[in-house]
A and B are shown apart, each in its own frame.
Chain A
């Protein structure tokens, strides 16, 4: 069984500063994918970034980067230059690699509030 743990229930960050959101995972599958989603107050889930277990380099997407440490089973999200619009819930998720019908297991989420 796969498990995702997000230990930070909530965080404050100053506008324009960077913030790191923690995510640890547990799986016995050799091939897996890690995802981060943003959920604003509207409720919709927005895909941010993906990291495959065999990817050699850490994933980056604009202001989002993923600090992937396979041996420690962690996949922390780094948001650089925080903006007020980054205030939202953030969820880490994992699935069993690139396959159709990829079921995702979600963590409990971290609420981020960006202060002006």
Chain B
């Protein structure tokens, strides 16, 4: 089955530590995205990538980093510079006829 996987589903980290969230897709999509969602709010774009080895900052990129070494993978690192990292993180990819984005199940990150 084609789709997007994110791991882990829940992640706990201590303040001051970097952590990497995984996102893999087998939809053969060129574009991939990372969003952050805070409780009761909409999604905000962190980073996106239109093609391998290229990515752009979204609206809230500070304190985050990404890489796109393979078409299928777009990992997000939440660095210690991110002041309030506790949130729900969603990964998406697009490439269909209408270019709608398909989302993974999300990772809930909690900083202790």
0 or 1 for each of B17-49: is its CB under 8 Å from A? (1 = yes): 000000000000011010100001111110011
Of the candidates A35, A91, A98, A102, which one forms a contact with B42 in the assembled complex, judged by CB atoms under 8 Å apart? A91
Report the bound CA distance from A98 to B104 in whole Å: 21
Report yes or no: A45 in contact with B95, Cβ–Cβ below 8 A: no
Which residues of A71-116 have CB atoms within 8 Å of chain B's CB atoms?
A: 91, 93, 95, 98-109
Minimum distance in angstroms from B107 CB to a CB of chain A: 9
**B63 located at the interface, meaning its Cβ lies under 8 Å from any Cβ of chain A in the complex:** no
Interface magnitude class on chain A: 20 to 34
CB-based contact B98/A98 at 8 Å: yes
- B104 engages A44 (CB within 8 Å): yes
Whether B58 sits at the interface, judged by CB under 8 Å, is yes
Q: Is the CB of A42 within 8 A of B100?
A: no
Asked if A50 is at the interface of the complex by the 8 Å CB criterion, the answer is yes
Check if B105 sits within 8 Å of A109, measured CB to CB. Answer: no
Cα distance, A37 to B90, chains bound together (Å): 13
Q: Does B92 contact A (CB under 8 A)?
A: yes
Chain B nearest CB from A56 CB (Å) reads 16
Task: Report B's interface with A, CB cutoff 8 A.
Answer: 30-31, 33, 35, 40-45, 48-51, 58, 88, 90, 92, 94-95, 98-106, 108
Residues of A within 8 A of B (CB): 4, 33, 35, 37, 42-47, 50, 52, 91, 93, 95, 98-109
Q: List 8 A-B contacts (CB under 8 A).
A: A44-B104, A45-B90, A45-B103, A100-B99, A102-B94, A103-B58, A104-B101, A108-B41
